[in-house]
């Protein structure tokens, strides 16, 4: 198992930063009322602080909108995971709390980092952030119908298919995290207005929450343009049992 970023990505997006949390042996089946309570408080705080019309003025949201434009997608039709999460809350909807692994949503609306995750036991080969060549297919979460991927689109993929399209816009069905998931790879992402310190801090907080509620063993990694020469080390570490 491995996680890597294609060399094309920092060439196109020099400010790319990714924090990776590999979680093994999770107990992801219990329900915790305090998690739901914290999510409701996060929602209330966000609704007091923001409105939908003002989201585009947030620097970190603007970063993702510009990135989407760069690879040919309208940011009004394809929204980054963090913008979609914030819009959901500001439209009066609740954040999902289907399992303890969903607790990463507690802090992300406050740090404004894009995020996603995959069940490692369902990944074939490894996970790569790359640029699509247009031949790939993708089965979106909640569906069973393959859809085409656009050439030049930034995607996460394994050795067989796309796991997340338009960078962090839509996750796939195959590697979705469920209550039965035991081993996961969670990724926190930022661009120009996200600092490496913020991502390291968010990883640490996420790890602490997951350890509290889900148990398990954890490995943390950080990648940016300057550290990509260490990608091989990351691959080897992720492969360890």
pLDDT class of 30 with cuts at 50, 70, 90: confident
- Domains of the chain in sequence order: 3-239 (3.50.40.10)
pLDDT reported for residue 234: 62
pLDDT reported for residue 241: 47
**Tens digit of each residue's pLDDT (9 = 90 or more) over 43-89:** 999 999 999 999 999 999 999 999 999 999 998 889 999 999 999 99
pLDDT class of 96 with cuts at 50, 70, 90: confident
pLDDT reported for residue 155: 98
How does the average pLDDT of the chain come out, rounded? Answer: 89
Neighbours of 132 (CB within 10 A): 20
CA distances from 108 to 10, 120, 129, 228, 229 (A): 23, 22, 21, 24, 28
- Residue ranges of E strands in 7-149: 17-24, 114-119, 127-131, 137-139, 146-148
pLDDT reported for residue 98: 65
pTM of the model: 0.92
d(CA 204, CA 192): 21
pLDDT reported for residue 235: 60
How far does CA 230 lie from the centroid of its chain? 21
**Tens digit of each residue's pLDDT (9 = 90 or more) over 60-71:** 999 999 999 999
Closest CA to 44 of 113, 116, 115, 106: 106
83's tokens: 């913008």
Q: What is the mean pLDDT of residues 138-144?
A: 94
Q: Is the pLDDT of residue 141 over 60?
A: yes
């Amino acid at each position: 198992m491995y996680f890597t970023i294609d060399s094309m990505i920092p060439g196109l997006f020099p400010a790319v930063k990714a924090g990776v949390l590999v979680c093994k042996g999770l107990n992801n089946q219990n329900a915790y009322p305090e998690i739901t309570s914290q999510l409701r408080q996060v929602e209330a705080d966000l609704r007091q602080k923001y409105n939908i019309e003002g989201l585009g003025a947030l620097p970190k949201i603007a970063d993702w909108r510009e990135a989407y434009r760069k690879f040919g997608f309208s940011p009004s039709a394809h929204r980054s995971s963090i913008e979609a999460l914030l819009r959901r809350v500001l439209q009066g909807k609740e954040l999902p709390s289907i399992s303890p692994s969903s607790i990463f949503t507690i802090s992300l609306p406050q740090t404004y980092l894009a995020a996603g995750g995959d069940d490692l036991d369902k990944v074939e080969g490894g996970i790569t952030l790359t640029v699509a060549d247009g031949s790939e297919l993708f089965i979106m979460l909640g569906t069973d119908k393959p859809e085409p991927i656009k050439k030049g689109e930034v995607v996460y993929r394994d050795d067989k298919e796309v796991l997340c399209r338009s960078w962090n816009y839509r996750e796939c069905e195959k590697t979705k995290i469920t209550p039965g998931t035991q081993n996961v790879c969670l990724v926190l992402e930022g661009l120009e207005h996200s600092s490496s310190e913020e991502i390291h801090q968010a990883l640490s907080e996420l790890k602490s929450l997951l350890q509290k509620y889900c148990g398990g063993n954890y490995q943390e990694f950080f990648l940016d343009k300057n550290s990509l020469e260490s990608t091989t080390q990351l691959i080897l570490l992720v492969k360890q049992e």
